[in-house]
Amino acid sequence: MCTTCGCQITSGNESQIPVEKSADGGATSVLTRLMAGNDLQADHNRMHFDQLGVLVINLMSSPGSGKTALLEATIVQGRERFRMAVIEGDLETENDALRIRAHGVQAHQITTGSACHLDAHLVHEALHKIDFSGIDVLFIENVGNLVCPASFDLGHHLNVILLSVAEGDDKPAKYPVMFRAADVMLITKTDLSPYLDEFSNERAAQNLRNLANQVPIFHLSARNGEGIDVWLDWMEEQIQLQKQHVKNRPSFRPVRQPDAGLHATRILLSPVHPVSKS
């Protein structure tokens, strides 16, 4: 995580930064306090989502790997199966929210200015602007960035990480914090595979497995629709699992890993991770 560049500070949490220096006078303890404040806000967000019975998915990837295109394909092909709303995160522009709204789906755009990730405070402001009646799933499209978004709990339930075939199959090895946090990895833009023969599905999978992450890997193209049905089946299953789960107990905070990445909550819930019974 970029603990020195100050990117943990967003317009959502800057009011928490003390004017006076912290006890040890150092930046580290200020940042530690910011992360603790973020975790508390994330718990509050998750309480809202659990009360609403809404599954919340954090979509993360590098810029341009197809997050918004995936959401558009999900709306077009999945609108009979579940109802969704979207929070979009970008440094600037309302473009992605406009693309989603063009399909008749609620979308709230967060513009972070200079911050290269979303945080729980920004998501809290956004969630109170959304009408959740009848909504099954909220997608949060994080800022395109393979580094620090993985360290911020937003109050979500699952992390979905996209890797487009144009980016190279080595990305899980180069950005382990992000890919270790994945609850599912989507290899996107498969319609381009014939032109990008240096991308190996096997190597991409092995690079993920080398991080001790055994989650499902789906291959899909938002352009020609290939594989979207498998993704929609998985989504529908996760929505049902979450609805059953919150009847019994609230969702858990993601586990913080030694490298400061978060392992998303579903490790406690899904049949693909039989770690503990719910």
Ligand X SMILES: Nc1nc2c(ncn2[C@@H]2O[C@H](COP(=O)(O)OP(=O)(O)OP(=O)(O)O)[C@@H](O)[C@H]2O)c(=O)[nH]1
With beta carbons less than 8 A apart as the criterion, state whether 278 and 268 touch.
Answer: yes
Spatial neighbors of 152 by CB under 8 A, at least 6 apart, are 8, 38, 42, 117, 118, 119, 120, 262
Q: By CB under 6 A, is residue 45 in contact with ligand X? A: no
Backbone angles phi, psi at 59, to 5 degrees: -95, 120
Residue 68 binds ligand X, judged by CB under 6 A: yes
Task: Identify which range of 11-19, 75-83, 140-148, 187-195 contacts Zn ion by CB under 5 A.
Answer: 140-148
- For residue 218, give the amino acid letter: F
Extract the tokens encoding 92: 């600037």
Nearer to ligand X, 74 or 188 (CB): 188
Report CA 54 to chain centroid distance, whole Å.
Answer: 15
Indicate whether 64 belongs to the interface with ligand X (CB under 6 A).
Answer: yes
Binding status of residue 147 toward ligand X by CB under 6 A: no
Contact flag: residue 225 with ligand X (CB under 6 A)? no
CB of 162 to Zn ion, least distance (A): 10
Site for Zn ion in 34-53 (CB under 5 A): none
Closer residue to Zn ion, CB minimum distance, 67 or 180: 67
Please, what is the minimum distance in Å from the beta carbon of residue 234 to ligand X? 17
Would you tell me how many other CB atoms lie within 10 Å of the CB of residue 121?
Answer: 23
Question: Is residue 117 a contact point for Zn ion (CB under 5 A)?
Answer: yes
Residue 223 is a binding residue for ligand X (CB under 6 A): yes
Angle formed at CA 232 by CA 218 and CA 237, multiple of 5 degrees: 100
Q: How far is the CB of 73 from ligand X (least distance, A)?
A: 8
The reply on whether position 72 binds Zn ion by CB under 5 A is no
Rounded CA separation 215/210 (Å):
12
**What does 69 interact with, of ligand X, Zn ion, none (CB < 5 to 8 A by kind)?**
ligand X
From the list 140, 222, 228, 241, which residue makes contact with ligand X (rule: CB under 6 A)? 222
Q: Which of 7, 56, 160, 178 binds Zn ion (CB under 5 A)?
A: 7
Is position 74 an interface residue for ligand X (rule: CB under 6 A)?
A: no
Helix (H) or strand (E) holding 10: none
Nearest to 48 by CA among 39, 57, 56, 58: 56
User: What SS3 state is found at 110?
Assistant: strand
Find the residue with minimal CB distance to ligand X. Answer: 144
Residue 144 makes contact with ligand X by CB under 6 A: yes
Residue with tokens 């180069």: 174
Binding to ligand X by residue 171, rule CB under 6 A? no
Give the residue with the Cβ less far from ligand X, 41 or 109. Answer: 109
Closest to Zn ion by CB, 149 vs 254, is 149
Query: Is residue 221 at the binding interface for ligand X, with CB under 6 A as the rule?
Result: yes
Show the 3-state SS of 188-203. ECHHHHHHCCCCCHHH
The Cα 142–Cα 257 span in angstroms is 20
**C-beta of 34: minimal distance to ligand X in Å?**
24
- Cα-based distances in Å from 173 to 147, 202, 261: 12, 13, 15
**Which residues are at the interface with ligand X (CB under 6 A)?**
61, 63-69, 90, 96, 144, 188-189, 191-192, 221-223
